[in-house]
Amino acid sequence: MPPSGKLDRSLIDTHIHVLTPSYVKALDENGGGPSGWATPSWTLEECVRFTDTVGASFSVLSITAPGPGLLGPTEAGRKLARTLNEEVWEVCCQRKGRFGYFASLPDFNDVEGTLEEIRHIFETEKNANGVVVMTSYGDRLLGDEKFKPIWKALDNYKALVFVHPGQLKIVPEKIGGFIPQPVLDFPLATTRAAVSLIVSGIITMCSNVDIVLSHAGGTLPFVGQRAITCLAEPSLGSQSQVSIDQTKHAVSRFYYDLALSTSAPQLKALLAFTTRSEVISHMRRHRASTPPFCSTPSSPGAKKGRV
């Protein structure tokens, strides 16, 4: 429990992972997590203990990368998405009122399968707080033209979308031969996905969708201005689906969690990049902690998080 011995009824953890039996089995059968990070153990008791420690009264569980995309755009990937959502909901039901969840979706390259699961989530089950999506699927970023039907469907349901970074296809995969991608490359993956959503016009098109970027938006607060101003170059701006003014508005649409992103430079950059009052006014009410992959809770904070 927190020092006071009481849970803060207004404190919500929006970035906390769960490992269900089917997901662990899928990872084991496919050589482990592709990011290079070892798969940790997970129990409900340990998760509850952790949320008690940070004082969160409500936590939104999610399956981490690569999620059902581990199996690619296949029928097996569709079935895994459905199974994971059922298993995570069962976890939530064991501690009613303490946990919600972001439902998982199949590999976006399976457009029809993803649309089917979205309908199931929002029309049949109706128990998820939103959906978790990865920054890329195969060789396509989230803002890819092929994925627009998926975003239109999410917009129709006014979905809350939690964007979590996934593996980048880069060489060498590990820095120094041992540092896995989640340490440094995941923030870059988030940045690439965010910019792709902006210049593709998806953010502008989907006005009903709320998007939460992991880890303070990756490096977006540091380099986002470069992405905006580059559109002033005619050869680049002519290829964008949005104008500079639309881009500026699109950037303001993002929400941010602060999982593993609470150093002074990171917070100052985020506060300078976003509207300061919005970040500060919500900093005491939301938390992002990322267990079980990181056992040390990060400082409280999120930009206008919603569940």
307 residues of the chain, pLDDT tens digit each: 444 555 555 688 899 999 999 999 999 999 988 877 788 899 999 999 999 988 888 999 999 999 999 999 999 999 999 999 999 999 999 999 999 999 999 999 999 999 999 999 999 999 999 999 999 999 999 999 999 999 999 999 999 999 999 989 899 989 999 999 989 999 999 999 999 999 999 999 999 999 999 999 999 999 999 988 999 999 999 999 999 999 999 999 999 998 888 899 998 999 888 865 444 233 333 445 556 656 554 444 333 333 3
- Contact present, 26 and 71 (Cβ < 8 Å): yes
Question: Exposure of 246 by Cβ count < 10 A (0-12 exposed, 13-18 middle, 19+ buried)?
Answer: middle
Task: Please give the Cα distance from 284 to 269 (Å, whole number).
Answer: 19
pLDDT at 33 (0 to 100): 84
Q: How many helices (H) and strands (E) does the chain have?
A: 12, 11
Angle between helix 111-119 and 75-94 (nearest 10): 30
Task: Please give the Cα distance from 13 to 226 (Å, whole number).
Answer: 31
pLDDT at 293 (0 to 100): 59
Torsion of CA 240, 246, 247, 248, to 10 degrees: 160
How many residues are listed for the chain in this entry?
A: 307
